[in-house]
Amino acid sequence: MTEVSTTRPARRNAQSASRADAGQAAVSAVRAFNVVVSRVERVSSNFRRITFGGACLTDFGVQGSTLDLRIKVMIPPAGGECADLGALMDGSGSGWYQQWLSLDASERGDMRTYTVRDSRCDQPTPELDVDFVMHFDSDGKGGPASQWAASAEPGDRVWLIGPNIHAATCSTAGAYGGIEWRPGLAQNVLLAGDETAVPAISAILESLPADISGHAFLEVPDGSDCQDIQTRSNVGISWLVRGGRPHGELLDAAVRQAVRVPGWVSLAAPFRVSLGSDTPSGQALAAAARAGGPERAAGPEPEDIDIDKTILWETPQLLDAAALDGSLNPDKPSGALPFYAWIAGEAAVVRGLRRYLVRDVGIDRKQVAFMGYWRQGKAEG
């Protein structure tokens, strides 16, 4: 995830506490980490990897793989430093966020949500990597995070807000609420996203075991953005090079080609080639997207979401069965079916795929995570 709005639906309050056992005091599931930039690497034309280090990171993490773990990166104000988040959070409990908002902009800086690309916080020199997508318009203007990442150098300091590994003896990920990848018993999976989802999809693929199969589609702006992802799984990885095509066109078409009516049983064989916008395969996929879906719906119509006003964030653990008018399968708990999909990226593209997979294909909503990381044409908060 890269440079997205600061507000995200949460299963629990970010300051909710987990208990190691009934006899111990509550430990906050989240804390602030004052870290230093250790290395800066240009991964490709549109990706810049920043490695953060610091002794405090020995307290960072979740039990198990980070998967699509979200954290907050506090972007310093131009020419200055962010407020002391550690003191703010320690002294204010759950009210730290409101106190942070009340600070002067010259001191507050900006908060952005990112995915942990890799974590080595259990090593003698604890570090974690965050991949920044470099979003700039034709005039060279970008958001606060892109501007900061473009000029970041070793020695620069920032604050991160992330999971406290000491929060619980159970999964800290569950208490922190920053991981959405929950395939359950599924052995056939679909991952689809644009460049903002590349770090999360990459980290997930690297964690998958050999008995998982399926598709991973990653739409990126430029051919140089195609990266080497190592996975033990049998998931086919396809890079879709957008070039001058509309954002999400190739991604939408690839998902429709791979997951056909009447559902997961019709999954096509994995693509194992890069599909650029200027290739016959890429053109065929784009044509498939324009052709539209089937005439008759196979599943319920999902609720309409105004993506210009509301964050599109629908994951199995957030669904309220009582509020969905019976559109969920009451006989199958989340994660009990053989197929699972994880879709993230630009909100309009994600909304279109949500409608296709739920209504046209008829996939149970408890088997799909839909996440609008950002909205094209809308400034992030």
Beta pairing class for 70-75 and 157-163: antiparallel
Domain boundaries, the chain: 17-176, 188-374
pLDDT in the model for residue 334? 73
Look up residue 140 and give its DSSP letter.
Answer: S
pLDDT of residue 18: 38
List the chain residues with pLDDT less than 50: 4-24, 170, 172, 264-266, 268-275, 277, 280-282, 285-286, 288-296, 322-323, 380-381
Q: Which tens digit of pLDDT belongs to each residue from 36-82?
A: 999 999 999 999 999 999 999 999 998 889 999 999 999 998 877 88
* Rounded CA Rg of the chain: 21
244, exposed or middle or buried, with CB in 10 Å at 0-12, 13-18, 19+?
exposed
**DSSP alpha helix (H) spans, the chain:** 85-92, 96-102, 105-108, 144-151, 172-176, 198-207, 249-258, 280-291, 347-355
Pairing between strand 313-314 and 368-374? antiparallel
Please tell me what DSSP assigns to residue 124. S
Task: Report which of 198, 236, 205, 213 is spatially closest to residue 340, judged by C-alpha positions.
Answer: 213
Residue 277 and residue 241 in contact, taking contact as beta carbons nearer than 8 Å: yes
| Inter-residue contact 327 to 344 (CB < 8 Å) | no
- Distance, in Å, from the CA atom of 158 to the CA atom of 143, rounded to the nearest integer, reads 17
With contact defined as beta carbons under 8 Å apart, do 342 and 243 qualify?
A: no
CATH of the domain spanning 17-176, picked from 3.30.465.10, 3.30.450.40, 3.20.20.140, 2.40.30.10: 2.40.30.10
Nearest to 286 by CA among 245, 319, 323, 315: 245
pLDDT tens digits, 280-317: 444 554 454 444 444 445 677 777 787 777 888 888 87
DSSP string covering 62-87: -SS--TT-EEEEEEPPTTS----HHH
Question: Any idea which fold 188-374 has?
Answer: Rossmann fold (3.40.50)
